Structure 1
Amino acid sequence: MSAERTPPSGAVTATGVPTGGTGADGAGAPRPARRLIGVDAARGLALFGMVAVHTLPSWDEQTGDATLSWTLFAGHSAALFATLAGVSLAFASGGRTPRTGRRMTASRWALAGRAGTIALVGFLLGFLELPVSNILIYYGVLFLLAIPFLRLRTRSLLLCAALFALVAPFLMQWSVDVLPGLEYENPSLLDVVLDPGTVLSQLLLTGVYPALPWMAFLLAGLAVGRTDLTSRRVQTLLATIGAAVALLVWSASVLAVQVLGGYEAIAAGTPWMDEAQIDEVMVFGGDPTLPTDTLWWLLVSTPHTNTPFFLLLNVGVALSVLGVCLLLERVAGRILAPLAAAGAMTFTLYTAHLLVLWPEYYDLAPAAWTVGQLVLFTAFALLWRRARGQGPLEVVVTRSTWAISRRVLARGADGTQPPVLSGTAPGPDRTRDPTT
């Protein structure tokens, strides 16, 4: 889902905000920046995965089994999006060294503005009867929740991510029986005005992408963004350790459920479900939450269950994918260029994807609609980037956050430079107009 191409002055970052300039008012020349194509490629892969999950069938009508597209992308693509959003937030708040003082204040206010813009687009899309859940509103809430964590370093962020992954699912399960459930598949601005409590509880705990459990992804990405992502060693560690974590967590979940009696405990604790219904949840997840009769359900790692195993598994998957894409950039940067171009404007393309799905014509030929979207989005991204730079919606985010940053810094009157909200790594420019 998310993301984000030129500000009035300065290059554009991987988070859709300007890199700033050399003068105190931000009007100087932008600092050079080297675009991390691997980050954009990973984000493009997440976008394409969500397109596949939303457009292709999730199960085989003849066998009832999950399809390959569901197995490969369901849950993983959205989690990758959220993790990469955290990486972008690290870039936008100082990179390896978090900003301090008024520059950090400017970054926080810019992030709040960014969250509001993305959430507003999501709420406006809520007036349409979309056939899928819109992640943009949840993204806005995630960004707001991330503001207090921007000053933290890698170890502290990883610890916080682990705490959210381990604690938030229990809070989520408790909330299902206490707070309002999923009343609005895609809430609109009108729903926010008329029923704010229900919308808020849904966005935080009871919705499809509940922000509190999903902070595990955002904070893990923020932690990774505080490392040197241009280092081959870091890239290799991400690829290998991420894969190892994913394999370990998945194995632990399978062992607990299938060997150590977890399945039987779930069946005994949920007597109103027969074996077929339990198996369906084991494959396709909750609707959108898991049954609350027993906490044994938190042992599963099924897509969109938001259990500790699901969260930690997909943190590992996301970090491994990012590491692999960064390593591939070293040897196949040109080959990754189309994927990276789409990943540089995912806010625009994800919104376009939702509008394409809205009439629900894709049910007539899902495979053709999927391929058509991938080809069209890639071609549009390449052509638009060459002609105009940032994507249309990315420009809106960029200009609004740029204006907020300059206003905050100007208020300081202390000669501080505007924040270098860079989504790129230090070094010479690799693209004419870096983008999200």
Structure 2
Amino acid sequence: MPSDSRLHALDGLRGLAVFLMMEQHIGIWLWRVPAGGARQHPGLVAFNALGGLAAPLFITLAGVGAALMIARARGPVDRTLVTRGLWLMGFGYALNLMTPHWFGPLSWFVLHLIGLGLATTPLWRRASTPRLLLVAATLVAATTAAHVWLRTPLHLGFSVMNNHARPGGVLRLALVEGHFPALPWLAVFILGLVAGRDVVAGRRGAVARLALILLAVGASLGLLGRALPLRGADIDDPLLRGLWLRLVRVHLDFYPGHLPIVALLAAAALLLVYLGLAPRVRGWLDARSPAVTLGRASLTLLIVHVVLFHEGGRALGLYYGLSATTTLLIIAAWTALCVLGTRAWQRRGYAYGAEWALRRLAG
């Protein structure tokens, strides 16, 4: 059973995830890319790129957290998991309505996916670990098959990911072509559930082994695509061409999520869990640590920063309107404000935030 310090470590990882998400979003939404292109600012581009790990880390940590919740429950837990999952999906749809310039009313984002993961955890928690790994592998394989069958573009734009008017409607977004659809991202949640079992049992090394296996799979497929002379243009059949490219090309934007990049991102998230649970790291963290307070308020910060900087930035004419230096200063100032604010909020138990509301609503 994990100790309190381990819980602080997981909160710290949530804090890292929300920081990465906020810095990426603010950097993308406010920065006016110069005429010469983003390559003139490789540091800012690389900094923003780190934010790509935020959502996979959130999803993985949600799975870990579900496993910890099950292990610590003193009574029936299935109803609580389902209720929390459904309410979190409701929060996701509320965020859709608050950000009409980013999402459609029925868009499927990371909150919806995590909510689905929690709501379906009663289906997974009684399965053995090998069976859970088989389920995760099946979901990823089904992703590739669904993409080929639906002729999903190799790169999805917002006009597709937010469009529920196409055949399949909202189910198509939730299952295959949304921002973070169940195929393949529910597999990452399940991998987090597996890792959470290892955390509960004190098998930290097993988390690292799972991460290294995923790293080997993702890297091998990516290297295979580079090593073989075969390219998409060399395959006449469009279905086979699409299948090949989805299996071996590493698309860093992961819209949609293909096998290589999903495996690499899941590996990175699990490695962070492994490192975050190291005894030395746990010893650095307590309830007042900046990363921990950010993590305890991560759902609130996710919602607030999206509304403030995406919708507010548009209303104030700041969207794509600032220099790289000004954008970085805003990121720094906002991060400092969040750290100071959440540290003060910690004394009041994070009362009236989104996390507090979720606990009150769902138990």
Give the TM-score of the pair, scaled to structure 1.
0.67
Equivalent positions of 1:275-354 (< 5 A) are 294-298=242-246, 299-303=248-252, 304=254, 305-327=256-278, 328-334=280-286, 337-354=289-306
* Aligned equivalents of 2:250, 2:54: Cα separation in 1: 15
Preserved CA contact (<8 Å) 1:46 1:81:
yes
Q: Distance in 1 between matches of 2:224 and 2:128?
A: 34
Distance 1:334 1:292, change over 3 A: farther
- Check conservation: 2:232, 2:244, Cα contact below 8 A: yes
Give the C-alpha shift of residue 334 in structure 1.
4.9
Asked whether 1:397 is paired with 2:352, we answer no
- Determine the C-alpha separation between the residues in 2 that align with 1:253 and 1:73: 23
- Gaps of at least 5 residues in structure 2 are none
- Counterpart amino acid of 2:362? T
Q: Deviations over 1:177-208 (max 9, x none)?
A: 59xx9667568xxx7xx999512210111112
Relative contact order, higher structure (CA 8 A, sep 6+): 1
Q: 2:84 aligns with which of 114, 122, 146?
A: 114
Partner Cα separation in structure 1 for residue 122 and residue 194 of structure 2: 14
Q: Distance in 1 between matches of 2:23 and 2:334?
A: 9
Q: Letter of the aligned partner of 1:267 in structure 2?
A: A
**Is the Cα contact below 8 Å between 1:301 and 1:309 reproduced in 2?**
yes
Q: Which moved more, 1:41-50 or 1:372-381?
A: 372-381
Change in CA separation of 1:398 and 1:336 when aligned onto 2, cut-off 3 Å: closer
Out of 148, 161, 169, the position equivalent to 2:136 is 161
- State the match for 1:238 in structure 2: 207
The answer to whether 1:367 aligns with 2:342 is no
Letter in 1 for 2:204: Q
Aligned residues: 335
Which residue identity does 1:368 align to in structure 2? L
Measured against aligned partners, the alpha-carbon deviations of 1:55-92 in whole angstroms (never above 9, x if no partner) come to 22499753555720243332x22111101100111122
Opposite residue 148 of structure 1, the aligned amino acid is: L
For 1:95-174, list aligned pairs within 5 A: 103-104=75-76, 107-127=77-97, 128-131=99-102, 134-174=109-149
Counterparts of 1:168 and 1:87 in 2: how far apart (Å)? Answer: 23
Quote the Cα distance in structure 1 between the aligned partners of 2:158 and 2:169.
Answer: 8
Aligned to 1:259: 227
**Contact 2:219–2:264 (CA<8 Å) still a contact in 1?**
no
Corresponding position: 1:43 with 2:14: yes
- Read off the aligned partner of 2:297 and give its amino acid letter: M
Give identity over the alignment, percent: 24
Give the match for residue 428 of structure 1. none
Q: CA deviation at 1:342?
A: 0.8
1:265 partner amino acid = R
In structure 1, the partner of 2:23 is 52
Quote the residue 1:73 is aligned against: 51
Structure 2 length normalisation: TM-score? 0.79
The one-character-per-residue Cα deviations of 1:204-241 (angstroms, maximum 9, x if unpaired) are 1111211121011100111111123584xx334534x3
1:210 and 2:181 equivalent? yes
Letter in 1 for 2:51: F
Alpha-carbon deviation of 1:109?
A: 2.0
Asked if the contact 2:24/2:51 (under 8 Å) is kept, the reply is yes
Conserved? CA contact 1:123–1:186, under 8 Å: no
